[in-house]
Amino acid sequence: MTMINALGLLEVKGFTAGIEAADAMLKAAQVRLLSQTHIPPGFITLIIEGDLAACRAALDAGAAAAGRVGIVISRKEIGRPETDTEWFVTNLQKQNQAEINPSANNIKPKKTTVTITKQDKVDKVEPPLISTDDKTTETTETALLSFIAEHPQGRNITEIMTLFNITRVAAKRLLDNCISQGKLRKRGNRYSLVEVTK
């Protein structure tokens, strides 16, 4: 994997604003569109890469174009992103490609439904993560452990929330359950598999 020199992030409201911004950024400077993410109700996040000056020029053009037809929420350029930041962005790119073409990379996004109760909001005793069905919970844990095993440095809670499309409370509950069973360990903000010694 080649190192990313700089990243540019532009978040706008409105599909047309997103298209205008992407077009303007790609025409204004020598940058490449890494990914685009749509978050209801109409927020579009565009991620570009190139050298730092090109990213700044592209973001200026993209923000100006998007501002004419929609709303610019935020923009940010990151020079020489840290390795984990770079990995996170490229992983988002793979997930976005998989949503468009599920057969690419054999990645299948997981969709689950979690009901938030008042208990979740006050961190009291909570019901099981996704279902009272033990098989469903076991399948979810197996998928989680496989996902964490794919990356040698482990995964953070945001990546898990994104993949399983669940809330932070639900993800934390699932991770804590795996830690209590001795399947996972936490180092800093990353969760990794417990190595079994023979």
DSSP 128: -
For residues 47 and 119, state if they share a domain.
Answer: no
pLDDT value at residue 130: 44
pLDDT value at residue 113: 53
Domain final residue pick, 40, 55, 87? 87
AA letter at 183: K
CA–CA separation, 108 and 116 (whole Å)? 25
Residue 180 three-state SS: helix
- One digit per residue, the tens of pLDDT, for the chain of length 198 reads 456 788 899 999 998 999 999 999 999 999 998 888 888 888 999 999 989 999 999 999 999 999 999 899 999 998 888 888 877 777 765 665 555 454 544 545 555 554 545 444 444 334 444 444 455 556 678 888 888 888 777 888 888 887 777 888 888 888 888 888 888 888 878 888 887 554
For residues 114 and 185, state if they share a domain.
Answer: yes
Cα dihedral angle (160, 162, 164, 167), rounded to 10 degrees? 90
DSSP 68: H
Structure tokens given for 34: 């890494």
For residues 139 and 81, state if they share a domain.
Answer: no
Domain span including residue 156? 110-193
CATH of residue 78's domain is 3.30.70.1710
Instruction: Assess if residue 99 is contained within a domain.
Output: no
Compute the half-sphere exposure of residue 170: CA atoms within 13 Å on the CB side of its CA.
22
CATH of residue 177's domain is 1.10.10.10
